[in-house]
Amino acid sequence: MRNEPVRNDSERRTMMHDDSHSGESPASANANGGGPGNVAGLISRRMTIAMAVITVAGGLVFVLGVLFGSRHEFTERGLNPSAMSVAREFGSGMMVIDTRKAVALTVLFVVCVVAAVAVVGRYYSHKEVAPLEHAFELQKDFVADASHELKTPLAVISTRIDLIDFRRQRGQSIDDALDDLRGDVDRMNAIVTDLLVAARGAVHTEPVALDGVIAQSVDAVRPLADKRGVRVETRIDGDPAHFVVEGSAVGLSRCVVAVLDNAIAHAPQGTDVTIALGYRHHRDVAIRVTDHGPGIGDDPERLFRRFARDDDGTAHQGYGLGLALARDVASRYGGTLDVESTSADGTTMRLTLPLTR
């Protein structure tokens, strides 16, 4: 049974249209519209102003150095520099300059100007480019995250289509399968929206009942489990009404689906994957997903590193983003995701979240 209402085609198209206009890419959200051209122009303007200021200031210092150096030369030659003002001295051309000192002063002036321009240029370049680089990193992560997060829904949709084709060829009803397919498309659209929200750094929370999240997550991965010959069993240890947390139903479902997908991929055919909901402490709730696969090995934390790959010989060779993203989602809502236990008989993943106060 599905746990969410089925939208008609017009409602779904409207929702997708609105989401496409309300979402914005991580780069635009974090760089505030500052593309490479804008940043380059801003750096160029600031560099031009800085160089002009440095040149004018350096020129004034140079002229003052020449004037006061000339008066010093007057004194060394026994003349009285006080008899003539600096203005008259400069206007009449009556100046005494030591060529060696003048050359040294000129070289020093050029070196100081070049060094000042280099320092200012480096400062402004770093100041303006750093946010852009950060935005590009966010955009790259978003593309990788979205690519991975959409793999499971697309695999489910592919399985649904195969089922529809199978039933159609045999003259069987496909209405239920079409309803499920529409629900999968809605779920995929919700995932994209949640990814955009997460990429902008926005965290909107509301009370979420975890039993509903688990039911939707199990429903989402059931076609994959059926295809692999794995049964998914659900157990709730306590009153479901008590297991309410602050978060996003879509985000938490993404997290649970990633853990379930990993467990199903490593579970031998004909075995069970169990997802259990219960208390960890009196203020925390835990979702435990247990499979009967070959275990993880001596370094469970590697599974939570981006782009880590399985090395146990299983056929599930993904991009290593699933559990890393799941941990990010758990952290977003004040929770944790870790490996509670692992052995040759199976592995238990534990998602811990704070209960609503």
The predicted-structure confidence for 127-183, as pLDDT tens digits, reads as follows 767 776 766 776 676 676 666 667 777 888 888 888 888 888 888 888 888 888 888
| 28 assigned to some structural domain | no
Residues 298 and 245 in one domain: yes
Burial (CB < 10 A; 0-12, 13-18, 19+), residue 212, is: middle
Range of the domain at 50: 34-141
Q: Which one-letter amino acid corresponds to residue 293?
A: G
Residues 197 and 162 in one domain: yes
| 230 assigned to some structural domain | yes
Domain final position from 141, 168, 188: 141
Residues 162 and 131 in one domain: no
| Cα gap 25→55, rounded to integer Å | 41
Higher confidence at residue 220 or residue 317?
220
| 239 assigned to some structural domain | yes
| Cα gap 37→194, rounded to integer Å | 30
Share of the chain above pLDDT 70, in %: 66
Residues 133 and 281 in one domain: no
Query: In the structure, what pLDDT confidence band is assigned to residue 80 with cuts at 50, 70 and 90?
Result: low
Domain final position from 122, 141, 160: 141
Side-chain-side CA neighbours of 282 within 13 Å: the count stands at: 0
What pLDDT does residue 191 have? Answer: 72
| 340 assigned to some structural domain | yes
Residues 100 and 158 in one domain: no
What pLDDT does residue 51 have? Answer: 73
Residue 282 has pLDDT above 80, yes or no: no
What pLDDT does residue 3 have? Answer: 42
Contact 84, 62 (CB under 8 A): no
Please state whether the predicted TM-score (pTM) of the whole model is above 0.95. no
What pLDDT does residue 126 have? Answer: 74
Look up residue 277 and give its two tokens. Answer: 């909901």
Residue 246 has pLDDT above 80, yes or no: yes
Q: Give the mean model confidence (pLDDT) for residues 265-294.
A: 93
Residues 208 and 110 in one domain: no
R_g of the chain computed on alpha carbons: 34
What pLDDT does residue 24 have? Answer: 47
Residues 210 and 340 in one domain: yes
The predicted-structure confidence for 24-61, as pLDDT tens digits, reads as follows 444 444 444 455 556 556 666 776 777 777 778 777 87
| 205 assigned to some structural domain | yes
The predicted-structure confidence for 3-30, as pLDDT tens digits, reads as follows 443 344 444 444 444 444 444 444 444 4
Look over the chain and give the mean of its residue pLDDT values, rounded to a whole number.
75
Residues 212 and 288 in one domain: yes
The predicted-structure confidence for 83-122, as pLDDT tens digits, reads as follows 555 445 545 555 556 667 667 777 887 788 788 777 877 7
Q: Give the mean model confidence (pLDDT) for residues 318-325.
A: 64
- How many domains are contained in the chain? 2
